[in-house]
């Protein structure tokens, strides 16, 4: 960059020389990219580097240790089973949602999303109370119905591979539902009507017309589910580990117990997950290009209602009952019981558990830590997310490779399993030069790193919805950046910023894997308390904490819906 | 006095290509003039407007507003949008949804509160919207929103007003009404305007001068009458409604190999070379008469042997579809004219003054 302007001309021009302008324009994105790049990439890099410290010894140790191959196979099988489970159930629910009678339609499209709003650990605990072989309520009821007296015999066992598939599959079903439901809504019912007029039976029309249209939505949705299912943690640690069924993430987690932690070996176990996450995310990015093209071609069709059916509503209600109501009722009942036993009775329900747990220092200090950490995280990820959103939407102009880099930085924390990320963050910040272990700071840094993608996503969609014109109009009217920010940006973005803030808050209270790794004895978080009580076998206490999580989530959801409308919930699609 | 001078402005988009490119555009707008940039989508008219506004950075050339250079790529001058002293009316109005109508209109104003209030009252009065001052934009109709957007742009009496297809989001009747109102306001306040549209009627009725753009260049600029009556290029002629085109060789033979000739070729208008020519005329300029009825004419050019393939009653006129070996023509005849049956063969007559001819080069793959 050379300056060829004579000094006199420069003075007369009323604008600074090029170099200064170039520097100023670089400063509109460089600091964010540097900080975000460091926060996202450095922990992963430093951590995975550990796996190569002794050549390939870490890999030999990790992959050669007993049970590793089985864990890897279980991880893969679990992910595949989850995808199949979710695709079948999610597609069926989407089909039903579009056929619910008009006055029930919003109910029909909200219910299948509810499992996303129940904290994963709470749902898993609920199913333990229902389907544990000995004391599970459903097993107890079935035993008494069929007159089985031997309590070692149980129709269902939640501590099993299929137990994990069922509990996590219900959550993933909501993801598939979201994609397929949107896909079906966009394509409209005319195509199926045309098929019917041409003489196709409903079944033939479904397989030859509806399903092919859904291919992009299903490809995209099942890719995301596969990625998340490979790295899942809540269901495996609560349901698989008691039955000695390990997946890669629980295997990594169990190595936290040994001292000193063999970071090299943990990093080696994580490597296949890292690669799988990156590959699947890469394919997703490649497919979404196709997907957008597909939408522009087919997006013209307006929503036209399908023929309503009463059965559709019944199936959706049944799903809501099983996936949401049953586990919540089980948690509520257990939290009110003195002990969790197979002898169910409503006579001696008590609130003693609440008093015990809530008056204990343990939970209160964990709630305080979670609150402080979440609030501080929100103060970081809202401005940072807004800055990132300005770049993503082109309001701050950069080159295409900066956009691509930012895209990757915002995708990685989502694509890489939380357990792996948690270890990376722990390794990176617990050791010198940072040595942050046991402080709030490490929790906040970890939370901020994994939450920026979510706040960015909400703010990006708000910026896109408003379009650039309000900002352009302000500049045309002579308002400088500061006045525009105060008079236009703040009031326009206030609502989405609140939604993003509350959403981050909810997701952090539900967050399990990273929290379990970066917490310490002095900085306990709510999810950690639940896990400790679960391992210690204090099930009524587990139920109380799970209820607390559900309640906080519910409050958050109500706030989001009040501020941002019901569509805002769908943007939240958390882990 | 020149209010806006655009000097060799170019815009190259790298990837991704979001807007049409511009190639060394020159344009000067005098104070009080309303210059309309007219062209199809992708012709670069909006890109040019956004370069003047500073919302898009040109890659070459310079722009002066009044006597101030606001952008000069060679000298590295770039005045940000908010310091250019502009007003702009957006296609989708761009009223801030969280501010009342009054707050929207007052936004560009500086100075003491009473003075600003007075100016806002004046502005709302101008478009008969005084009663809407305390409403939020979302409670207004499209026409009301666009009137408010217009006076917001006018409020600070900017040196230059920019219009980005301001009427295209409104329905047809409202468009005509607002067009008339805009003409009146232009007459009363005498602002200088640069107006982008793809609607030729809008361009002709609003512009002091019209600049027809195509592929990032200005093909012709001039008063509306000149653009309409004497288009300078084949593209401008087609865009201005001269939908009929015949290709002839230098000596007047139809280039369809039939050996037939057009008689009484016009001498005036664009064509200069001796190669192939494109002859253009409007459907309403083409009169039909029974085959063989007339010979060469002094005042008309005569197109022999046209087959009538369809006849449609449109209401104001009857439209004939005609086929001449290789080209299809349309003719519009008034309701009074005698009807000609489908399947007949006729001669076409076009007054010399209503036909234009251009040098014709067969288009490369495009």
Mean pLDDT on A325-348: 82
CA of B19 vs chain A CAs: smallest distance (Å): 14
In this prediction, residue A301 carries a pLDDT of 39
Q: How far apart are CA A554 and CA A556, in angstroms?
A: 5
> Is A459 part of any domain?
yes
Nearest to B297 by CA among B345, B254, B347: B347
DSSP reduced 3-state for A512: coil
Is A77:A232 a contact under the CB 8 Å cutoff? Answer: no
Chain A residue whose CA is closest to B72: A13
Predicted TM-score of the model (pTM)? 0.79
Chosen from B91, B94, B148, B149 to mutate, greatest number of chain A CBs within 10 A: B94
> Would you call B270 an interface residue with chain A, using a CB distance cutoff of 8 Å?
no
Whether residue B245 contacts residue B214, with contact meaning beta carbons closer than 8 Å, is answered with: no
* A-B C-beta contacts closer than 8 Å: 86
Across residues A330-356, what is the average pLDDT? 79
Q: How does residue A466 score in pLDDT terms, banded at 50, 70 and 90?
A: confident
Nearby residues of B348 by Cβ (< 8 Å), 6 or more positions away: B286, B287, B288, B302, B303, B306, B322, B329, B331
- Tell if the CB–CB gap between A15 and B78 is shorter than 8 Å: yes
According to DSSP, residue A103 is labeled G
A166 within domain boundaries: no
Question: Chain A neighbours among B 106-125 (CB < 8 Å)?
Answer: 107-108, 110
Looking at per-residue pLDDT, the higher value among A189 and A171 belongs to A171
Which residues of chain B from 9 to 28 reach within 8 Å of chain A, CB to CB? 14-16
Percent of chain A with pLDDT over 90: 27
Number of folded domains that form chain A:
1
Average pLDDT, chain A: 83
B54 has a chain A CB within 8 A of its CB: yes
Out of A113-127, A335-349, A427-441, pick the least confident. Answer: A335-349
- A466 HSE (CA, 13 A, CB side): 28
Residue B25 C-alpha, separation from nearest chain A C-alpha, in angstroms: 22
- CATH 2.40.50.140: which residues of chain B? 242-359
Domain with CATH 3.40.50.300 in chain B: 2-231
Domain residue limits at A37: 29-59+353-575
CATH of region B2-231, choose from 3.30.1330.10, 3.40.50.300, 1.10.390.10, 1.10.3720.10 = 3.40.50.300
Give pLDDT, residue B61: 93
Domain of A569: which CATH number? 1.10.3720.10
Nearest CA in chain A to B76: A18
pLDDT at A73 exceeding the cut of 60: yes
Beta strand B160-164 with B193-197 is: parallel
Report the pLDDT value the prediction gives residue A306, as an integer from 0 to 100.
64
Please give the C-alpha separations between residue B178 and each of A289, B12, B150, B183, B274, in angstroms, as whole numbers.
Answer: 41, 35, 10, 9, 47
Is A136 domain-assigned? Answer: no
Chain B residue closest to A7 (CA)? Answer: B75
Q: Does B72 touch chain A (CB under 8 A)?
A: yes
Neighboring chain B residues of A18 at a CB cutoff of 8 Å: 76
A182 vs A371: which has the higher pLDDT: A371
Does A78 fall in a domain? no
Which has the minimum average pLDDT: A98-107, A286-295, B31-40, B251-260? Answer: A286-295
* In a domain? residue A430: yes
Q: Give me the mean pLDDT over the A132-146 stretch.
A: 85
More confident residue, A565 or A229: A229
Provide the shortest C-alpha distance from residue A497 to chain B (in Å).
15
Q: What is the pLDDT of residue A180?
A: 86
Residue A566: pLDDT above 70? no
Report the gap between the CA of B79 and the closest CA in chain A (Å): 7
Residue A144 lies in a domain: no
pLDDT at A349: 77
Point out the residues of chain B with pLDDT beneath 70: 14-19, 250-260, 264-274, 291-298, 362-366
**Tens of pLDDT along A417-454?**
888 888 899 889 988 788 888 889 999 999 999 999 88
The confidence band for A190, taking pLDDT boundaries of 50, 70 and 90, is low
How much is the pLDDT for A447? 93
Please state the three-class secondary structure of chain B as a single string: CEEEEEEEEEECCCCCCCCCCEEEEEEEEECCCEEEEECCCCCCHHHHHHHHHCCCCCCEEEEEECCEEEEECCCCEECCHHHCCEEEECCCCCCCCCCCHHHHHHCCCCCCHHHHHHHHHHHHHHCCCHHHCCCCHHHCCHHHHHHHHHHHHHCCCCCEEEEECCCCCCCHHHHHHHHHHHHHHHHHHCCCEEEEECCHHHHHHHCCEEEEEECCEEEEEECHHHHHHCCCCHHHHHHCCCCEEEEECCCCEECCCCCCECECCCCCCCCCCCCCEEEEECHHHCEEEECCCCCCCCCEEEEEEEEEEEEEECCCEEEEEEEECCEEEEEEEECCCCCCCCCCEEEEEEEHHHEEEEECCCCCCC
- C-alpha dist (Å) from residue A549 to A13, A101, A337, A533, A556: 61, 34, 19, 14, 11
CA distance B218 to B227: 12
Residue A297 has pLDDT above 50, yes or no: no
Query: Between chains, do A476 and B53 touch, taking CB under 8 Å as contact?
Result: yes
Q: For residues B52 and B4, is the Cβ–Cβ distance under 8 A?
A: yes
Query: Confidence class of residue A13 from pLDDT cuts 50, 70 and 90?
Result: very low
Return the DSSP state at A71: H
Compute the average pLDDT of residues A360-375. Answer: 87
Taking the CA of residue A469 and the nearest CA in chain B, the distance in Å comes to: 5
The minimum CA-CA distance between A449 and chain B, rounded to whole Å, is: 29
CB contact B78 to A (< 8 Å): yes
* pLDDT value of residue B364: 45
Domain B242-359, CATH: 2.40.50.140
| Beta strands B209-214 and B34-38, pairing class | parallel
Residue A407 pLDDT exceeds 80: yes
Greater model confidence, A495 or A150: A495
Query: Cβ–Cβ of B82/A470 closer than 8 Å?
Result: no
Report pLDDT for A4: 38
**Are β-strands B160-164 and B22-30 bridged in parallel, bridged antiparallel, or unpaired?**
unpaired
Residue with tokens 């050379």: A2
CB atoms within 10 A of CB A300: 9
Mean pLDDT of A49-54: 86
């Amino acid at each position: 960059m050379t300056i060829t302007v004579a000094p006199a001309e420069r003075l007369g021009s009323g604008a600074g020389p090029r170099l200064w302008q170039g520097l100023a324009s670089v400063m509109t994105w460089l600091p964010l990219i540097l900080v975000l790049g460091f926060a996202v990439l450095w922990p992963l890099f430093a951590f995975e580097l550990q796996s190569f410290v002794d050549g390939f010894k870490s890999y030999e140790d990790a992959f050669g240790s007993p049970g590793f191959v089985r864990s890897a196979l279980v991880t893969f099988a679990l992910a595949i089973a989850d995808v199949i489970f979710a695709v079948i159930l999610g597609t069926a629910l989407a089909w039903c949602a579009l056929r619910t009678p008009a006055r029930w339609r919003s109910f029909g499209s909200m219910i299948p999303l509810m499992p996303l709003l129940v904290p994963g650990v709470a749902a898993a605990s609920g199913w333990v109370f229902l389907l544990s072989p000995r004391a599970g309520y459903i097993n107890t009821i079935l035993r008494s119905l069929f007159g089985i007296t031997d309590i070692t015999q149980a129709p269902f066992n939640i501590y099993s591979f299929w137990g994990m598939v069922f509990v996590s599959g219900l959550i993933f079903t909501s993801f598939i539902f979201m994609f397929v439901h949107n896909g079906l809504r966009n394509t409209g019912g005319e195509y199926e009507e045309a098929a019917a007029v041409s003489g196709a039976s409903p079944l033939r029309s479904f397989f030859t017309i509806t399903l092919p249209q859904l291919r992009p939505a299903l490809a995209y949705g099942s890719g995301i589910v596969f990625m998340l299912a490979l790295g899942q943690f809540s269901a495996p640690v609560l349901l698989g580990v008691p039955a000695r069924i390990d997946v890669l993430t629980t295997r990594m987690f169990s190595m936290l117990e040994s001292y000193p932690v063999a970071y090299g070996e943990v990093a080696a176990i994580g490597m296949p997950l890292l690669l799988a996450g990156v590959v699947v995310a890469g394919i997703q990015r490649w497919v979404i290009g196709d997907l957008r093209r597909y939408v522009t071609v087919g997006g013209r069709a307006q929503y036209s209602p399908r023929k309503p059916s009463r059965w559709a509503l019944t199936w959706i209600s049944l799903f809501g009952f099983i996936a949401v109501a049953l586990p919540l009722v089980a948690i509520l009942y257990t939290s009110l019981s003195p002990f969790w036993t197979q002898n169910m009775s409503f006579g001696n329900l008590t609130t003693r558990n609440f008093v015990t747990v809530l008056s204990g220092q343990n939970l209160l200090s964990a709630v305080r830590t979670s609150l402080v950490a979440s609030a501080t995280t929100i103060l970081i990820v809202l401005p940072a997310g807004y800055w990132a959103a300005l770049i993503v939407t082109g309001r701050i102009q950069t080159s295409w490779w900066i956009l691509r880099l930012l895209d990757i930085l915002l995708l990685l924390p989502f694509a890489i399993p939380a357990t792996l990320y948690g270890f990376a963050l722990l390794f990176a910040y617990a050791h010198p030069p940072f040595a942050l272990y046991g402080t709030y700071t490490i929790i906040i840094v970890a939370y901020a790193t994994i939450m920026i993608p979510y706040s960015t996503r909400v703010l990006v969609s708000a910026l896109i919805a408003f379009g650039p014109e309000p900002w352009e109009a302000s500049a045309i009217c002579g308002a400088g950046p500061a006045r525009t920010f105060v008079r236009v940006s703040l009031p326009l973005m206030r609502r989405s910023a609140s939604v993003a803030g509350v959403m981050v808050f909810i997701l952090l209270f539900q967050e399990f894997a990273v929290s379990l790794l970066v917490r310490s004895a002095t900085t306990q978080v709510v999810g950690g308390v639940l896990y400790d009580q679960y391992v210690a076998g204090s099930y009524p206490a587990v139920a109380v904490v799970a209820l607390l999580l559900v309640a906080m989530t519910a409050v958050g959801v109500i706030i989001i819906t009040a501020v941002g409308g019901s569509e805002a919930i769908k943007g939240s699609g958390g882990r | 006095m020149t209010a806006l001078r655009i000097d060799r402005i170019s815009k190259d988009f790298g990837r991704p290509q979001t807007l049409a490119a511009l190639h060394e555009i020159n344009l000067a707008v005098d104070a009080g003039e309303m210059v309309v940039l007219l062209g199809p989508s992708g012709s670069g008219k909006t890109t040019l407007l956004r370069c003047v506004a500073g919302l898009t950075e040109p890659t070459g050339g310079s722009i002066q507003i009044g006597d101030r250079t606001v952008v000069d790529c060679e000298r590295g001058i770039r005045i940000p949008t908010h310091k250019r002293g502009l007003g702009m009316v957006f296609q989708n109005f761009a009223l801030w949804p969280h501010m009342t109508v009054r707050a929207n209109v007052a936004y560009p104003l500086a100075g003491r509160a009473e003075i600003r209030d007075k100016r806002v009252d004046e502005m709302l009065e101008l478009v008969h919207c005084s009663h809407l001052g305390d409403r939020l934009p979302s409670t207004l109709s499209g026409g009301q929103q666009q009137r408010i957007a217009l006076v917001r742009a006018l409020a600070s009496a900017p040196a230059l007003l920019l219009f980005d297809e301001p009427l295209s989001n409104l329905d047809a009747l409202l468009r005509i009404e607002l067009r008339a109102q805009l003409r009146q306001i232009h007459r009363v306040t005498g602002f200088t305007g640069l107006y982008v549209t793809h609607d030729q009627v809008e361009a002709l009725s609003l512009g002091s001068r019209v600049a027809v753009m195509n592929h990032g260049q200005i093909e012709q600029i001039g008063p509306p009458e000149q653009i309409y009556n004497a288009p300078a290029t084949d593209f401008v002629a087609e865009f201005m409604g001269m939908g009929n085109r015949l290709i002839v060789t230098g000596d007047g033979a139809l280039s369809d190999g039939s050996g037939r000739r057009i008689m009484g070729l016009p001498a005036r208008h664009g064509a200069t070379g001796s190669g192939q020519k494109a002859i253009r005329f409007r459907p309403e300029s083409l009169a039909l008469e029974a085959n063989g009825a007339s010979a060469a004419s002094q005042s008309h050019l005569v197109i022999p042997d046209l087959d009538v393939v369809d006849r449609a009653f449109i209401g104001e006129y009857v439209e004939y579809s005609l086929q001449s070996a290789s080209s299809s023509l349309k003719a519009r005849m008034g309701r009074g004219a005698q009807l000609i049956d489908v399947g007949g063969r006729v001669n076409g007559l076009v007054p010399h003054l209503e036909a234009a001819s251009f040098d014709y080069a067969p288009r490369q793959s495009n």
